[in-house]
Structure 1
């Protein structure tokens, strides 16, 4: 899976085909309850925040068969209730709400659009259509589309964040590919899991706990953690519950949330190095996509992390903290972490917004490498302190496991129980996301399908980071303000981060069977 923003997307030109989907006349939709993150996403959109869409895109052989593709889209929407919700405005105090449409009442109309001639023209046309069609109010907040070409075509489903998260994007690609191949006699797809049904087929996925930090903040802005940071707890695939039940007022997990915010003066985390954006301003975003470690290095990092009683995600986080510290930042990096709430087989195969957010302090171990403690990596140069020590890696693994326990606390309860209002130093929130795509639907076929996750490009005033692990290794997408200062700062952080991950000690640690409960074994290789 390639994770990009629209400004870096390079769709090849061809005939652009789209579909309009409208509710049938006389059909009354059923009432549905928005989750906490959906409600606040809608409040942000209602206050003028730009459209926040996520697009699943992948290639198939030959020109598009419009009838087969429409049937595949129809089946996908019918099987996933999350794709049939419509956001509606309500009178105060509710302000926003959801209804859900009957799939049998939806009317589909195909439009054969322009034949584009260049990558730039294709990107601009699709981005414009996605921004217009994937706005959250009205139905649908998604755009079924394709780019048809004689030899190899691209299938596209853009979705407002109301309908989806990063994990869901992999489900969409795998199911659409299987459904389309079924309708075209199998001639269109390079392979996959063959899952042609919706959540009911989720039992075919690997039996993996959804604990390896898996989410895509896309636009973690104040509208969403003014009530719950970028991600609020989502309900089961039906979408008809608003998250976990409240915890007791004396629950230590609620106290941990309060303590994190109290220590920050009730302010949400911001990236601690200069980004060159004046207070109160946002500027067009800059996106950087680059590798952090190749496949062999990623495997070595995973083994080293397990030896320290931690996970690969903990290694990624502690080395980021080390990079920030090396460039003049604090020794302890504070951030918010999106985590999935997909705790059962049905949720693993669902399309929806199934994530929450937890706070995390990451102690880089800067200046704390006692004699006899092996460093995480060899220093990049004589002027740089010894890299992240094993003690910091182990501590980050422990902190990460503790942070995930906070996912059981409803964000609404966190916010409403604070003794003082949250403060928002910036519009965006500093967040770090990690997603191991090897554990998700269709990972084996993703490269052959040229699977892409493409997010809208908007405006920014803080740094947000998405880390992806695939068969190729570990890569990062970073979203930041488009300023010279931010470019210099973030590029330097990414360089140092990569150094800390890749400059491993010359001799490995002894093998160990210790493995933390939050990370499953590496998948079998054939």
Structure 2
């Protein structure tokens, strides 16, 4: 899986086809539960924040069999209840997450079998730039969260090899989900392509794939922990030490307070496959994971450039607890605080001192992941002082080992992509990917001269530390 942003996406030209999906006339949707992440996302969109969409894209041989693809799209939506929800604005106050409304926003669910699908045979593009511009415009228009659907089924048909595209507002998806979309759409389409499948498929999948619909209980309000739970106290202590403010990247980015600027995206390899394997072995010997080693190296790189001796950040973690949830499409993540102590400088203390640093980072990461059991709304509601947001963006570092996710063995052959919208930024956000090719990062930052200098130097130093660690 290649993780990119829309500004760096390079879809080859061809016939662009999209589908409009509309609720059936006279059908009344039913209330659906709203998660904390979804609520905050919708409140941001309601306040004017730009659309935040995530797109799964992959290639198939030959021109697109449009009937087979529409059938596959229909079945994908039918098998995942999270794709049938619509965000709505509601009058009045909050009735809580379980009631489907909070702060004037809520969710309702449509019956997939009543949806009306209409195909649009769009333009034949001649350049990568024109193809990208057309698709990004369609994704931004169609994947806005309010109204139904907040997703875009699409394809780029070519004589030799085509691209299937399924874009979703963040309301419907997370990074893990893109792998499920690619894997299931590829199987659903492959079972139908060239077989004369009609555009209108029967309700639900007609193949051997197991239907993995969203468990409604997974979207309900998570169970609260006790007021004296040490995990809640850890959350409070982390925020108290920061003056009740969420983490910000500690090096200069050149954005004045209160401003956001267009984002810059950088894709960078941090370690090739042999180096990543060596880092994993070194970390394992110290009782840590590869992700802990990557995070410890990041903290050291920040300190090398004049940053603090302890790096505070937030870490998204998935909440998929069983095999069924692994095949679910939805926004199934929470966020935990992470504090990483800096290790020795590059080239110094590569022996016991570095192993001690790795062990400490592994312990910190394990402890942070235990905090995922604490509902974020409980953290916020139980604070003795209001939570402060120094910037719109939050300094966070995501780590995802795609080798453990659905469809990873076929992802390279499918030329699978995770494409995110390019919007505005005022802080640094990092998405680290582990694949068979090694460790890579997508960095999202403000497009300023200061941020370019700072982040490019950071990525160089980060890669250097990983190379030394794996040497």
TM-score (norm 1): 0.84
CA distance in 1, matches of 2:351, 2:211: 46
Q: 1:276 — aligned with what?
A: 254
Q: What are the residue-to-residue correspondences of 1:455-494 with 2, within 5 Å?
A: 455-494=420-459
Q: What are the residue-to-residue correspondences of 1:302-317 with 2, within 5 Å?
A: 302-317=280-295
Q: 1:416 — aligned with what?
A: 381
CA distance in 1, matches of 2:277, 2:195: 34
Count matched residues: 452
Using the TM superposition, give the Cα deviation of residue 247 of structure 1 relative to its aligned residue in structure 2, in angstroms.
0.7
Using the TM superposition, give the Cα deviation of residue 390 of structure 1 relative to its aligned residue in structure 2, in angstroms.
1.3
Change (3 A) 1:183 1:99: same
Q: 1:428 — aligned with what?
A: 393
CA distance in 1, matches of 2:320, 2:116: 31
Using the TM superposition, give the Cα deviation of residue 393 of structure 1 relative to its aligned residue in structure 2, in angstroms.
0.8
CA distance in 1, matches of 2:304, 2:230: 33
Contact 1:178 1:195 in 2 (8 A): no
CA distance in 1, matches of 2:404, 2:228: 36
CA distance in 2, matches of 1:186, 1:324: 55
**1:463-500 Cα deviation digits (max 9, x unpaired):** 00000000100000000000010000000000010011
1:343 aligns with 2:321: yes
Contact 2:347 2:468 in 1 (8 A): no
Change (3 A) 1:300 1:367: closer
Q: Secondary structure at the match of 1:389?
A: helix
1:180 aligns with 2:177: no
Q: Secondary structure at the match of 2:253?
A: coil
Greater Cα shift, 178-187 or 70-79: 178-187
What runs of 5+ residues in structure 2 fail to find an aligned partner? 95-103, 197-206
1:133 aligns with 2:137: no
Contact 1:175 1:198 in 2 (8 A): no
Change (3 A) 1:415 1:116: same
CA distance in 1, matches of 2:440, 2:240: 34
Using the TM superposition, give the Cα deviation of residue 240 of structure 1 relative to its aligned residue in structure 2, in angstroms.
6.5
Moved over 4 A (4+): 366-370
**1:15-68 Cα deviation digits (max 9, x unpaired):** 000000001011121211111111111111001010000000000000011100
Using the TM superposition, give the Cα deviation of residue 368 of structure 1 relative to its aligned residue in structure 2, in angstroms.
12
Q: 1:246 — aligned with what?
A: 224
Q: 1:327 — aligned with what?
A: 305
Q: What are the residue-to-residue correspondences of 1:157-176 with 2, within 5 Å?
A: 157-176=166-185
Contact 2:30 2:109 in 1 (8 A): yes
Q: 2:269 — aligned with what?
A: 291
Q: 1:31 — aligned with what?
A: 31
Change (3 A) 1:65 1:420: same
Using the TM superposition, give the Cα deviation of residue 503 of structure 1 relative to its aligned residue in structure 2, in angstroms.
2.2
Q: 2:85 — aligned with what?
A: 85
CA distance in 2, matches of 1:478, 1:239: 34
- Residue 154 of structure 2, aligned match among 126, 145, 150: 145
Contact 2:346 2:468 in 1 (8 A): no
TM-score (norm 2): 0.93
CA distance in 2, matches of 1:125, 1:182: 29
**1:321-357 Cα deviation digits (max 9, x unpaired):** 0000011001110000000000111111000010000
Change (3 A) 1:505 1:99: closer
Q: What are the residue-to-residue correspondences of 1:60-139 with 2, within 5 Å?
A: 60-94=60-94, 95-139=104-148
Q: What is the RMSD computed on CA atoms of the aligned residues? A: 1.8
Q: Secondary structure at the match of 2:303?
A: helix
Change (3 A) 1:20 1:498: same
Contact 1:174 1:195 in 2 (8 A): no
Q: Secondary structure at the match of 1:466?
A: strand
Q: Secondary structure at the match of 2:441?
A: strand
